[in-house]
Amino acid sequence: MNAGDTLALLPLLLIAGTAAVVMLAIAIRRSHALTAILTLAGLAATFASVLAIAPLVPRQVTPLLLIDRYALFYIGLITASSAAVAILSFQYLESHAAQREELYLLLLLATLGCAVLAASVHFVSFILGLEILSVSLYAMVAYFSDREHSLEAGIKYLILASVSAAFLLFGAALIYADTGTLAFSPVRELSLGGSRMAFVVTGIALTVTGIGFKLGVVPFHLWTPDVYEGSPSPVTAFVATASKTAVIALLVRYLSSGAMRSPPVFYVFSVMAIASMFAGNLLALRQTNVKRILAYSSIAHFGYILVAFLAGSAIAAAAVGFYLVAYTVTLLAAFGIVGVLSGPERDAGSLEQYRGLFWRRPVIAGIFTAALFSLAGIPATMGFLGKFYVLTSAAAASAWALMIVLVITSVAGLFYYLRIVVALYSAPPEHVGEHPGLARASALVLGALAILLILFGVYPAPLLDLIRSTLVLIG
């Protein structure tokens, strides 16, 4: 390690340092406002450091981490997502008498785990980042243990994540047994031929089990609706956006070339993508809880992302990046609205709680409508362009079966998104409980997210140019 390496690691060091400062501040004096300010200051400094060190990369820091423009792009996206979650958490936690400050500490640690994943080029850093993220999420999911379904969600996530980690570790051991290294590069450059192909293919399959669990794709999706419903809304937003963004960033780097040319690996991912698109959209049709609808839709959306991933070209990698940004902005807005409307006892989950919302809170209803339209892929939103780029990449790779499934399931998905929209603009029920007011900081975040949804849905060129510039140095 030298000064250049330390400078390259500055974003990760700042997140870790902020977590230490927040922990000490909580130990000295409990203050919800101070803890939130320290958290946001640390995340802002981290985002600024990403921009500052961009001219100095790429840089290999030990065999474990590669800090390049690709890693910095995803670290920046994860940091921005965490900052939005922190701001939305402040109003959400204000209505709770329980200890609130520790949630920010856990959020910072989870962000650190995500950042490590985005920069990983080695199984050791992969597993370390994944466990830092997972252990933090265990506590975040069950943070309000006195709530209905909260402990259940936390225990389900703990058990299933532990099992998936065991599969991942065994898969890494098999790959090491064949290649003699834990670095990603031999796997990416492998042609998967020869007498010992079964070792590597089995190892990749087992590591994909751990990755598939974190993404919540079929058949590793069973935890998703229960965890989304039982978690506090800001935590659900983080699980749905930052944690999954980090895993996709790692997956693209891990299997972006040689291994994907193996028919067994390609077919496994194809089956996962098709099953996720069908299961996510069809199961969402039966739901009456908004958080569970968004949970099942997330299964379908990561099936869409896998379609672009399977295309395996520069166009496809750009499509994955754009779709992740669109999905992150949209889900932060959607779960931000859920959090704003939630009370101290339970989150605003039931569809009936949203009936007639436009006539009581027109601005909030408008932002939620924009988010739902983006998820549905309605034109003039980021979600529409995201699906368009995914379809373009699939067409370039002649993945016609995946394209057909994507189009059919997307049409089916329109129903449950429009069902929520219809509820928003329906006549309100006679007896409606009071919703909390909208804090200024939360209003600014939600307004900014809504603007981004439309702005990049109409004029995506700057974002696409940025994403393409990060793909040159994936490695």
* Segments of 194-293 assigned E as strands: none
Would you give the DSSP letter of residue 147? Answer: S
pLDDT tens column, 162-172: 888 898 899 88
Residue 473 has what pLDDT?
Answer: 45
Residue 153 has what pLDDT?
Answer: 87
- Which residues contact residue 367 at a Cβ distance below 8 angstroms, ignoring those fewer than 6 apart? 333, 337, 446, 447, 449, 450
The mean pLDDT value of the chain amounts to: 86
Report which of residues 191 and 124 the model is more confident about: 124
- Region 221-229: mean pLDDT is 88
Six-digit token string for 264 = 């067994």
Distances in Å between the alpha carbon of 111 and those of 80, 114, 244, 252? 10, 5, 11, 19
Residue 431 has what pLDDT?
Answer: 61
Q: Tell me the DSSP string of 281-347.
A: HHHHTT--BHHHHHHHHHHHHHHHHHHHHHH-SHHHHHHHHHHHHHHHHHHHHHHHHHHHH--SSS-
- Its domain, for residue 215, covers 3-473
- What percentage of the chain carries pLDDT values higher than 90? 43
Give the model's confidence band at 56: pLDDT under 50 very low, under 70 low, under 90 confident, else very high: confident
Q: Is 266 exposed, middle or buried (0-12, 13-18, 19+ CB in 10 A)?
A: middle
Count of structural domains within the chain: 1
143 near 113, Cβ under 8 Å?
Answer: no
Helix, strand, coil content of the chain in percent (nearest 5): 80, 0, 20
Give the model's confidence band at 474: pLDDT under 50 very low, under 70 low, under 90 confident, else very high: very low
Lowest mean pLDDT among 132-136, 144-148, 449-453: 144-148
- Region 49-68: mean pLDDT is 88
Distances in Å between the alpha carbon of 93 and those of 87, 141, 365, 447, 471? 10, 14, 22, 20, 39
Residue 438 has pLDDT above 80, yes or no: no
**Of 82, 80, 81, 57, which Cα lies nearest the Cα of 70?**
57
- What percentage of the chain carries pLDDT values higher than 70? 92
246 near 117, Cβ under 8 Å?
Answer: yes
Residue 475 has pLDDT above 50, yes or no: no
Distances in Å between the alpha carbon of 147 and those of 1, 346, 438, 459? 47, 7, 23, 43
pLDDT tens column, 291-343: 999 999 999 999 999 998 888 767 778 888 999 999 999 999 999 998 888 87
Report which of residues 209 and 325 the model is more confident about: 325
322 near 464, Cβ under 8 Å?
Answer: yes
One-letter amino acid identity for 176? Y
Helix, strand, or coil here: 143?
coil
pLDDT tens column, 106-127: 999 999 999 999 999 889 999 9
The distance in angstroms from the start CA to the end CA of the chain is 20
